[in-house]
Amino acid sequence: MDRRSFFRAQTRTKSNFRVQAGMQPYGGAWTRDEVTHLLKRTLFGARETDIQAFMAMDPQTAIDALFQPQPMPSSPLREYGLVGVEEFMYDDLGVAVGQPWGDDMNVTSDVQARPAINSARCGSLVKWMMGQMLHQQPTIHEKMVLFMHHHFSVQIGEVDDATMCYRHHLLLRQYALGNIRELTRLVSKDPAMLRHLNGYLNSKKAPDENFARELQELMTVGKGPDSMYTEGDVIAAAKVLTGWRINSETKLAEFSAGEHDTSTKQFSGFYGGISIGGGDGDTELAALINMIFGVKETARFICRKLYRWFVYHRIESDVETAVIQPLADLLIAENYELAPVLKTLLRSEHFYETAHRACYIKNPYDFIIGTLREFNVPIPALGDYSQSYPYFQSLARQGSRMLMELFQPPDVSGWPAYYQEPMFYEMWVNSNSLPRRAEFVDGLVDDGVIDVRAYVNALGTQPDVRSLVETIAARLLQYPLSDNSIDYIVNRFSPGGMPDDTKLKDIFKFILNLPEYHLC
């Protein structure tokens, strides 16, 4: 009890007196520490080769390198065999095994088999996304694609269509570093989103407010103190969005004028009392999105979400003033282009302050993919589908067990670790998920997936066991271990000198299970 009140008092005091550097460009040292911090936040884990490469650059160049344009990936492959429907087995006649299914509309096979083929493709899509993340280049793209997935939070279970989910994912991928206003406009009539939040049922006769509400609450203006849209705005937005349907053959969105509410939709003073009408679906949608993005709170809300994704979850008034507001102003000035805003954040004094190091609890993919990448575990190639897709599947399943299921966020608001007060990131680690993280790393070491001897050899010659443990800990942990802790590890596992393979495994398991290992 005492310890806790002491601790709380201490942290409160510190945060009150903390110097919050703002968005001015970082001018300090550019060492392994800064580079590792940058890479761990923008990639899944920081590999030694990347650390070396980025250390050789100056900060400006390093940030630009993270934003190198990336080609769009090729389609997921058919890695599944025959599909079973009741007692019959069917082939996917549209796509041969090993061939891409992304452009196939699943209309060739027996009608009975199509739902099962769709399910198989949905599974294939999840594995494929896992593969994209595992094979990431040293750029920020995959983390931003995952961010967009969190932000729009479409669930494959709700959409239940592999083609729509694949196209939705490509849309997020295309705009992950692009224009957030344009992406929001396109997502608003994207078939996967139309299905996910019932837009395809939204008609003038029975307006469905589901998307209209979440568009404002979760994707744009949010529910912060300065967000004052009304229930009337939700209803009006729902009416603006009436009439979007999904063509059953092409699975593309189309506007059905007969289902659209052509009345004049009046918005509240929060949106400047704008009214939207005219009857054309695209024109009204663009007007709605422009109206919402015309409110400054939208830019702030998006910047807060990005800050929580990359820096830290607590946004107090000092951060609001020193970071969120300038970034929001920049986002508006840059016409809602995300890249300049992200670059400014990542090259700022604020980002590299000690206060913001090692305070980020790894999400399940930081943990899973980060561990594999940092130990240079060979990842089977996407094209080698019979090897790689089962591998991706098993890792995606690990991610789900640790609370982050790809293509299936828990609800419309994304993953609670990035919004749920007061715990935020702490939501990832609880009495249920912690043992799963432990099982994962223990398994990697015990089963030899991680070659601990090779890892140690790559560290170069170490004078003694203490120095060895110290070096391993320094490489793997962003949060430093004290001398006492290092001594403890040495004395517990290898007091007699350099460890043999068994002892070395124990040392690695111990370090990978330390609470410190969950931080980056």
Partner 1 sequence: MNRRKFLSRTVPATVMPALLNGFSFSAYGSQPGSMLQQLLGPDLPNDHILVLIQLHGGNDGLNTVIPLDVYGNYYTARANVAIPQDRVLRLDGTDKTGLHPAMTKLQTLFNNGKANIVQSVGYDKQNFSHFRSTDIWMTGDDSNNRSSREKRGWLGRYLEDVYPGYPYEYPNGDMPDPLAIQISEAPTVTVQGDVFSMGLSITDPNNVYSFTNPFNDYPLNSADANRELQYLRIITDKTKVYSDIIRAAYNKGANRGTYDETSLARQLAIVARLISGGLKTRVYTVTLGGFDTHKKQVNPGDTSTGGHAELLKSLSAGISAFQDDLEKQQLDDRVLGMTFSEFGRRIKSNASMGTDHGAAAPLILFGKHVKKGVLGKSPDIPAEVQVVDNIPFQYDFRSIYATVLERWFCVDKTKISQLMLKDYQSLPIIGGTPCGLDDDIEEVNEQADKMILKFWPNPYQQVATLQFSTPGGKTVVQQLNALGQLVRIHAMETYPAGTFNIDIYEDQLPSGMYFIRLQTGNLQKVIRVIKAK
Residues 403-432 that bind partner 1 (CB under 8 A): 403, 411-413, 416, 419-423, 425-427, 429-432
Q: How far apart are CA 105 and CA 95, in angstroms?
A: 10
Q: How far apart are CA 277 and CA 300, in angstroms?
A: 28
Q: How far apart are CA 282 and CA 110, in angstroms?
A: 36
Is 9 a binding residue for partner 1 by CB under 8 A? The answer is no
Residue nearer to partner 1 on the CB measure, 279 or 435: 435
Residue nearer to partner 1 on the CB measure, 165 or 512: 512
Residue nearer to partner 1 on the CB measure, 339 or 434: 434
Is 29 a binding residue for partner 1 by CB under 8 A? The answer is no
Residue nearer to partner 1 on the CB measure, 372 or 403: 403
Least distance to partner 1, CB of residue 475, Å: 16
Least distance to partner 1, CB of residue 501, Å: 21
Q: How far apart are CA 178 and CA 218, in angstroms?
A: 19
What are the residues whose beta carbons fall under 8 Å from the beta carbon of 41, sequence distance 6 or more?
310, 311, 360, 520
Residue nearer to partner 1 on the CB measure, 7 or 88: 7
Residue nearer to partner 1 on the CB measure, 85 or 235: 235
Residue nearer to partner 1 on the CB measure, 53 or 474: 474
Q: Is the dihedral of CA 476, 481, 486, 489 positive or negative?
A: negative
Q: How far apart are CA 303 and CA 311, in angstroms?
A: 11
Q: How far apart are CA 370 and CA 139, in angstroms?
A: 14
The count of residues interacting with partner 1 (CB under 8 A) is 72
Is 474 a binding residue for partner 1 by CB under 8 A? The answer is no
Query: What backbone torsions phi and psi does residue 245 show, to the nearest 5 degrees?
Result: -125, 170
Is 119 a binding residue for partner 1 by CB under 8 A? The answer is no
Q: Is 58 exposed, middle or buried (0-12, 13-18, 19+ CB in 10 A)?
A: exposed
Residues in 206-245 at the binding interface with partner 1, rule: CB under 8 A: 206-210, 213, 217-218, 223-225, 231, 234-235
Considering only 82, 252, 332, 359, the residue that binds partner 1 (CB under 8 A) is 359
Q: For the chain, what percentages of helix, strand and coil (3-state, to nearest 5) are there?
A: 60, 5, 40
* DSSP reduced 3-state for 379: coil
Residue nearer to partner 1 on the CB measure, 105 or 438: 438
Is 516 a binding residue for partner 1 by CB under 8 A? The answer is yes
Q: How far apart are CA 68 and CA 70, in angstroms?
A: 6
Q: Is 411 exposed, middle or buried (0-12, 13-18, 19+ CB in 10 A)?
A: exposed
Considering only 60, 283, 290, 354, the residue that binds partner 1 (CB under 8 A) is 354
Residue nearer to partner 1 on the CB measure, 45 or 222: 222
Mark residues 475-494: x for contact with partner 1 by CB under 8 A, - for none. Answer: ----xxxx-xx--x------
Q: How far apart are CA 520 and CA 516, in angstroms?
A: 8
Residue nearer to partner 1 on the CB measure, 160 or 182: 160
Token pair recorded at residue 332: 């508006």
What are the residues whose beta carbons fall under 8 Å from the beta carbon of 341, sequence distance 6 or more?
303, 306, 327, 330, 331, 334
User: Which residue type, as a one-letter code, is found at position 395?
Assistant: L
Least distance to partner 1, CB of residue 520, Å: 10
Considering only 8, 497, 498, 501, the residue that binds partner 1 (CB under 8 A) is 8
Name the segment binding partner 1 (CB under 8 A); options: 2-10, 178-186, 249-257, 289-297. 2-10
Considering only 174, 179, 376, 513, the residue that binds partner 1 (CB under 8 A) is 513
Query: What backbone torsions phi and psi does residue 254 show, to the nearest 5 degrees?
Result: -145, 155
Is 270 a binding residue for partner 1 by CB under 8 A? The answer is no
Length reported for the chain: 520
Token pair recorded at residue 247: 């063509």
Least distance to partner 1, CB of residue 467, Å: 18
Name the segment binding partner 1 (CB under 8 A); options: 12-20, 135-143, 453-461, 464-472. 12-20
Is 198 a binding residue for partner 1 by CB under 8 A? The answer is yes
Residue nearer to partner 1 on the CB measure, 99 or 432: 432
Residues in 430-459 at the binding interface with partner 1, rule: CB under 8 A: 430-435, 438
Closest Cα partner for 209 from 170, 239, 250?
239
Considering only 9, 15, 24, 61, the residue that binds partner 1 (CB under 8 A) is 15
| 265 membership: H or E segment, kind and range | strand 265-266
What are the residues whose beta carbons fall under 8 Å from the beta carbon of 303, sequence distance 6 or more?
323, 324, 327, 328, 331, 341
Least distance to partner 1, CB of residue 225, Å: 5
Residues in 291-330 at the binding interface with partner 1, rule: CB under 8 A: 312, 314
Is 31 a binding residue for partner 1 by CB under 8 A? The answer is no
